[in-house]
Structure 1
Amino acid sequence: MAVTIKSPREIELMRKAGEILAKTHEELHAALRPGMSTLDIDRLGEKIIRSHGCIPSFKNYNGYPASICVSVNDEVVHGIPNRHRILKEGDIVSLDAGVIYKGYHSDAARTWAVGQVSPEAQKLMDVTKQCFFEGIRFAKAGCHLGEISAAIQSYAESFGYGVVRDLVGHGIGTHLHEDPEVPNFAMKRKGLLLQPGMTLAVEPMINMGTYEVVWMDDDWTVVTKDHSLSAHYENTILITEGEPEILSL
């Protein structure tokens, strides 16, 4: 699949998809509390997405059974919601979601605190979010994709954190995952030259320990190999002539 340049009409539809996804994340954050199950979060998320006339991007995507990926503590991504997994005070929870609006996807992730969390957990979440913003300083026409990746890695590693290698960001549009891949770590090559109209999902996944991860027996849930905490922050962005536009904020 080649990298697609979106037309003004397509960008408008992706803006709307992003706006609805941002609202979904806000409502989920407001609802988060100790005692909720991860399935409660999924059901609420799907209800919000469908109330806006949208379809959850993740539901049945390659067989994924839920609408919201809910990953707790050492789970990096793709946690499958279930009614037995109960959030407790001090947990951190990563919510990854996507919506389809008139055939166009948006994709965004947030990691939130459940009640009061440790200063270390809060710092990991703050740094992971800032990694995204460090990266997108280079998300403009004339820069190369590799500059985004290198900036994310450099910032995360300056705090001694591990940058996940096995999972990367991606292009997005009429498909949830399009070319190009957007790694969160420096590559040997400069990578793609960025052009206005490209849409990317930039998503740092940062571990408190090493970068190594393993897949659980469900074939979806990815956890840190050393069981350290992990955080995830993602937005769908549009490359322009100037500063990137964040479509899912």
Structure 2
Amino acid sequence: MGFTLTSYNTMKESFDRGILTFLGHHKVASVDKLPPHRKGYVLFLQTMIEQIDQLPVKNTEKEIREQERLKASILTGAMYIISEGMLPASGSLLRDILQETMGVRAENKDKGTTANIIDPMSAAHMTSEAMKFYTALIFPHGSTDKMLAQNPFSKIESMDFVTFEVQGIDLGATARKAVLHNGRHAMINEEKERLRREAESKKGPYASYNPMGWFSGTSKKKDDEEEYDDTLEDTKGAKV
């Protein structure tokens, strides 16, 4: 099964709760007081949320539903890039907060919780949408010749934007490669299975039946006796 997106509003609420926990962990009262190597990530994601909130309001039910999906996909993609490409894989409370906010979880049979893991197709799609949204914010409308000196993120000094951009591109490319590899592997396995079934069907229902099997024991015994008789002839007069 593919990854199931958490609703955008649920993500925002979860992220806010997680950041309060994060502030308490570092014993500070505001994000500005966080250690620089973590503050930038939080400020960046808060700014992303502010910008996502400014997306034009849609009218029809279908448009609203698609807009909400897009919002969740953009935010999940941005969090995925940071959690998978910029934070340590273990021992990072912020990474744990982002994983929980995205709705990523392993299966827990005791709690009756099903797994919700970001698969390659979902990763490729979400990182693409996150990077597209981010790029639209840092470049003038309709041009990618030069970044805007003043953009929504320009005041965040402690964020490594170059690494975010590189990881966004690399993680997306890795995910797309995995999609192609897995798809080709599935195709090959399916073709092998088809050929196997085809070969089995051609053998017919009696393919494994050996009509000579009834006589195989007698034939073997006869052959053995003949060999034994031949041996006796050959060993006559020999020392034993």
Give the TM-score category using the shorter length. under 0.3
TM-score using structure 1 length: 0.23
Structure showing greater radius of gyration is 2
Q: Which has the higher strand share?
A: 1
TM-score using structure 2 length: 0.24
